[in-house]
Amino acid sequence: MGTAKERSEVLQGTLDLMILKTLEALGPLHGYGVARRIEQLSEETLRLNEGTVYASLLRLGQKGWIRSEWGVSDNNRKAKYYSISASGRKRLARETRNWERISGLIGRVLGLESEG
């Protein structure tokens, strides 16, 4: 049933965080570029559906956390490029602190030893 590299589903709410961080670290990217970069960083553990990524980009744009503008891609096609906004940077910092707190808690719970 399992493969050498099992694919994982993105936890609810984490895709937005990963997109914000990717845009902060790499600068403006088109949606396809964002998805492929996150997949590369996951060492292909994550497989992102294009529709899911674009829905997240739309949501982030509506919240004012990213901006978009039209440009030309490497293969000379018209593409919408996304970049993180100042409010997106603030949100990313807040969400990063929250993620670190929550993942630390989960790590402590999973590290519990049986008492008997």
pLDDT exceeds 50 at position 4: no
35 neighbors 89 (Cβ within 8 angstroms): no
23 neighbors 16 (Cβ within 8 angstroms): no
pLDDT exceeds 90 at position 2: no
User: For the chain, what are the domain ranges?
Assistant: 14-110
pTM of this structure: 0.83
* Half-sphere exposure of residue 92: CA atoms within 13 angstroms, side-chain side: 22
pLDDT digits (tens, 9 = 90+) for 15-27: 999 999 999 999 9
CATH architecture, domain defined by 14-110: Orthogonal Bundle (1.10)
Q: How many CB atoms lie within 10 A of CB 48?
A: 21
pLDDT digits (tens, 9 = 90+) for 104-116: 999 999 998 876 5
pLDDT digits (tens, 9 = 90+) for 29-84: 999 999 999 999 999 888 888 888 999 999 999 999 999 999 998 889 999 999 99
Q: How many residues does the chain have?
A: 116
Within 1-115, residue ranges assigned H as helices are 14-26, 31-41, 50-62, 86-110
Handedness of CA 41, 68, 86, 94 (dihedral sign): negative
User: In whole angstroms, what is the distance from residue 39 CA to residue 66 CA?
Assistant: 20
